[in-house]
Amino acid sequence: MDLSFANIVQVISDSAIPVVILLIVGYGLFKKVKLYESFIDGAKGGFDVAIKIIPFLVAILVAIGMFRASGAMDYLIALISPLTNLVGMPAEALPVAIMRPLSGSGSLGLVTEIIKTHGPDSFLGNLVSTMYGSTETTFYVLAVYFGTVGIKKTRHAVPTGLIADAAGLVAALIICKLVFS
């Protein structure tokens, strides 16, 4: 059996979701939780939340559309690219890094475009895919969740979320350089 870093990562990624599902179900059975009823109750609550967040979704999507249409993203990319070139991050990946904290669907569109252009097995395709999975839609999540429960002051949530996104981007770059270079 080949114990290379790439193979170890592949085994972990192939088994992560089934193991987590089995752990959750096993823990629920151990605690004698009625799993199906709990799932249905959670689904009902999720539907109620979905109805409440629609205004917040519309607001954040309009803001994202304005950001992209105004050309501000292109300006920001031009401003940041000299710094990312120093650490070996391709300039083509910058739009995904910038859009991901704002919009999942917007960044997914950018990832799809890059994969169509450069291929799914290219370094850039692997990098933007890993970046997409390693970061969160921070502003979207904060707008929706805080808006739903009526929190007006985010305190440390924005800086913490952006720091976590930056850590995810750096980790994605390092891992992709190790695995795909």
pLDDT in tens, the chain (181 residues): 567 887 888 899 899 999 999 999 999 999 999 999 999 999 998 888 778 778 877 877 787 778 878 988 888 888 888 988 898 899 889 989 988 998 888 888 889 989 999 999 999 999 999 999 999 999 888 888 888 788 888 889 999 999 999 999 999 999 999 998 7
Q: Report the distance separating Cα 170 and Cα 61, nearest Å.
A: 26
| 32's tokens | 């004698």
Domain co-membership, 110 together with 145 = yes
Domain co-membership, 115 together with 94 = yes
Q: Report the distance separating Cα 79 and Cα 93, nearest Å.
A: 14
Q: Report the distance separating Cα 118 and Cα 29, nearest Å.
A: 47
Number of structural domains (the chain) is 2
Distance from the Cα of residue 145 to its chain's centroid: 16
Q: Are 73 and 98 in contact (CB under 8 A)?
A: yes
| 133's tokens | 């999975």
Q: Which domain holds residue 77?
A: 46-180
Domain co-membership, 114 together with 163 = yes
Domain co-membership, 72 together with 144 = yes
pLDDT at site 1: 58
Domain co-membership, 93 together with 124 = yes
Whether residue 11 lies inside any domain: the answer is yes
pLDDT at site 67: 81
Domain co-membership, 131 together with 107 = yes
Domain co-membership, 28 together with 88 = no
